[in-house]
Amino acid sequence: MATHRRPKQPSRARVSVLTAAAATAVALSAQAGAAQAAPKPTKESVKAQVDKLNEQAEAAAEKYNGAKEQQQKLQRQVNNMQDEVARQQAEVSSMQGTLGQLASSQYRSGGIDPTVQLMLSSDPSRFLDQASSLDQVSAQQAQTLRQLQEKQHKLDQDKAQTQADLAELDSTTRELKARKAEVQTRLAKAQALLNTLTAQERAALQAAETAAAQRASRAAARTALTPALAGNGSTAAASGTAQAALAAAKTRIGSPYVYGATGPSTFDCSGLTQWSYARAGVSLPRTSEEQANAGTRLTLSQLQPGDLVFFFSDLHHVGIYAGNGMVLHAPKPGASVRYEAMNDGYLPFQFGVRV
């Protein structure tokens, strides 16, 4: 009789080894596929991502700066109104104290005059409505109370409206701050990607940027030595004020770009223009969008040294025209105040403004 044996089952150890080997093969295959599907970014594409994120971050920062300035302005208004309300309330309280003394005197003499009762009423409007029918009331007292009541009412309305505006602005500021943080997070990711490039690639990018800045500086020096090159069809600054603002900005060359900074050692773009014009005796608004309405608008051919120049469709970047097709500005994070050619493609010119 034949003996039937069941096939020998592989051991658990052998199954584990085979499973692990299969998993490794799948993982290696997936990694190989991913590597083929996503080649390493070039240094040019990485730089383009960083530049785009810089642009978005600066736009968000300018809006945040504007909201913060408006918030501070409203807070000052609220504080002033609260002081005024307190002053008026003190006057009302003083008058009520005087009337209280009169009421006490009348009570001791046998009763309180109906006029005094009305003036001490918890409802001032009731007194004002009925005071005119009482012969005993002082016209001056009634007029004073009416003025105080009306002023108090207006102040309460203004205070309530300002508080509502401030609450709305607080909400907007938080939203803008969150947007700024989001952009900065993406910027950090792009910078991390930039750091994956080789040292030679990073050095090449830096060398190209440095060379462009040096060319712009040499052109600026030629402009200073040759007035005929000072502007498009112009041989001098737009005005003494513009010349002084440009001269002030030149003293800040090399100062680092920092979001929200207004000097004297660090700047963002509108912080530099505001600081420079302040040195020339002109108070500019805080943001680039507001500065765009600070004077007469100009085309490219009308620019003269010292004019403000605005870039990008939403006007989130501003600098000072330096002549010979160049701008002196605080460009972006990781860079410093410097000259830059306006025709290099990075700065889409919109218009100029003469303050």
Confidence at residue 62, expressed as pLDDT on a 0 to 100 scale: 92
Annotation says 329 is catalytic: yes
Q: At 291, is the pLDDT very low, low, confident or very high (cuts 50, 70, 90)?
A: very high
125-134, 176-185, 236-245: segment of lowest average pLDDT: 125-134
Average of pLDDT values for 73-89?
A: 83
Q: Mean pLDDT over residues 253-282, rounded? A: 96
Name which residue leads in pLDDT, 282 or 52: 282
Query: What mean pLDDT, rounded, does the chain reach?
Result: 78
Q: What is the C-alpha R_g of the chain?
A: 36
Residue range 12-17: average pLDDT? 48
CA distances from 350 to 53, 65, 136, 286, 315 (A): 20, 21, 73, 19, 8
**Per-residue confidence (pLDDT) for residue 231, from 0 to 100:** 45
% of the chain with per-residue pLDDT over 90: 30
Q: Map residue 311 onto helix, strand or coil.
A: strand
pLDDT at 69 > cutoff 70:
yes
**How far out from the chain centre does Cα 231 lie?**
31
The DSSP bridge pattern shows strands 349-354 and 296-298 to be antiparallel
pLDDT, tens digit, 9 for 90 and up, residues 311-321: 999 999 999 99
- Pairing, β 308-311 against β 296-298: unpaired
Task: Give the mean pLDDT of 220-232.
Answer: 56
Q: Is 5 helix (H, G, I), strand (E, B) or coil?
A: coil
Model confidence at 32: pLDDT above 50: no
Specify whether 153 is catalytic.
Answer: no
| Global confidence as pTM | 0.70
Record the tokens describing residue 156, joined without a space.
Answer: 């309460």
Domain ranges of the chain: 43-194, 202-354
Judged by average pLDDT, the poorest of 48-62, 91-105, 148-162, 300-314 is 91-105
Catalytic residue from among 4, 153, 269, 316:
269
Class of the CATH-defined domain 202-354: alpha beta
Q: Beta-carbon neighbour count of residue 342 at 10 Å?
A: 22
85-89, 155-159, 173-177, 299-303: which is most confident: 299-303
Range from 155-159, 175-179, 223-227, 277-281 that averages highest in pLDDT: 277-281
Q: Which residues of 60-92 are buried (b: 16+ CB within 10 A; e: fewer)?
A: bbbbbbbbbebbeebeeebeebeeebeebeeeb
pLDDT at 169 over 50: yes
173 falls in which pLDDT band (50, 70, 90)? confident
Catalytic pick among 4, 153, 316, 317: 317
Residue 166 burial (10 A CB sphere; 0-12, 13-18, 19+): middle
Active site residue 269: yes
